Each structure stands twice: as structure tokens, then as C-alpha cells.
Amino acid sequence: MSVRCLHVREIVLDSALYLFAQNGYFNTSIPGIVSHSGVSTGSIYHHFSDKEEIARALYERHVVQMDVLINHIETQHHQVELRCREIILALFELTEKESMVMAYMLHTRHQEIMPDIVPVCSSRPFQRMREVVQKGIDEGEIRQMDSMVAAVCIFGGALKFIQFQLDGILEKSLAEYFDELWNTSWASVKTNTDKNLENIRLEN
């Protein structure tokens, strides 16, 4: 695909993202995307067979975007606590800078549009987040517990705050809530080293 074709494709996707986030998938039409993007109907149909294919391309684009973020974090940090912390920070930053992306990924009922795709919570980035948590359990950074429960304890509150931000009900920025949220989330799952050391001391 030529550079020009890629550019046109991205313009269409960016316009669709805006309209899907603002109006919803079912209230967005191809003529609406034409009007917003400035790309002709013929050019849109050259790249996409229909509106569903546009939605699918958007979903895949931003799953990859989130996957790249997590991959970068995993290469930079080996400690599970730091990986989890940085993943939440990255998601908060993405929400602040590209709110339409997060609105599309978290608010859109993708399976109503594309029944064959996995739900976003089962997509590769979220699988990797759970894998990070399982690694923490296996290596003793996180106490022994169900990995799904641990993942919800670590990431669930952050995802809820992202939804609050997208709904416009937070009084402060996500960054201003981060420290308290993170400390509370990690404290709920971390191995209690101090208690373990005290138990060992008492046994001896």
C-alpha cells in the first residue's frame, strides 16, 4: 500500500473514531464520515467494504497501540510491581491525551457490531495485563490468590477511574488520583513481607 493510500486510510479512521466516540456507531453513517473527513465516498469504499470494516480496523489499530505500550513497559521494567504501576500510568496518560481512543475501546459494544471478535477485556493487551499479575503471584510479589481477583484489585479501580474521566465526573485529573489509587490497589495484593519476617522471627 502506498504512503498516500495509508494517509487516506488513517484520515478515514481518525474521522470515524471521532464520530463513533461522539455519536455512537449506529448514529454514524458513511456520508457522515465523508463529510467529516473530506475523503470521497469512492475512496472510502476503496479502502473499506462497509462501516463495520472501518470499526474493525479501528478496534485492531488501538488493540495494537495498547499492546505496544505494554510491550515497551515490559522491556523497561522487570519487577511486577513497577510493570503494573507503569501500565496504569500509561492508560491514564492515553485517556488524558487521546480520550476518544479510550472511549471507543471501553464504551463501544464491539460485539454488537462485530460478533466474531473477542470482547476488549479479552483482547491481547488485557490478557497480557493478567499475565503480568500471574507472574507476580508465581514469583512471590503478589500473595497467593486467584489471578483474576488480583487483576481486578490492581487494574479494576484504574479502569473505573478512566470511565469516570470519560464521563466527565472527576473533579481532578487522573494523575492527581494516581498515587492514592495505586497505593491502595497494590496494598490489597502485595505479599506482606514484614508480616512474613515477623512470623519467621517468632517461629525461631
pLDDT at 114 over 80: yes
Domain ranges of the chain: 1-48, 51-203
Can you give the pLDDT at residue 88? 98
Question: Does domain 51-203 sit in CATH 1.10.357.10?
Answer: yes
pLDDT of 142-195, one tens digit each? Answer: 999 999 999 999 999 999 999 999 999 999 999 999 999 999 999 999 998 644
Taking only the tens place, the pLDDT of each residue in 35-78 is 999 999 999 999 999 999 999 999 999 999 999 999 999 999 99
Q: Which helix (H) or strand (E) holds 151?
A: helix 147-151
Across the range 82-94, mean pLDDT stands at: 97
154-167, pLDDT tens digit by residue?
999 999 999 999 99
**DSSP for 129-194, written as a single string:** HHHHHHHHHHHTSB-SS-HHHHHIIIIIHHHHHHHHHHTT--SS-HHHHHHHHHHHHHHTTB--HH
What 3-state DSSP class applies to 190? strand
**Contact yes or no for 130/87 (Cβ under 8 A):** no
Is domain 1-48 in CATH 1.10.10.60, yes or no?
A: yes
Q: Cα torsion for 54, 58, 61, 63, to the nearest 10°?
A: -130
With beta carbons less than 8 A apart as the criterion, state whether 16 and 60 touch: no
CA angle 96, 150, 92 (to 5 degrees): 5
Judge residue 77's burial from the number of C-beta atoms within 10 Å of its C-beta, 0-12 exposed, 13-18 middle, 19 or more buried.
middle
Cell numbers describing residue 184: 491502595
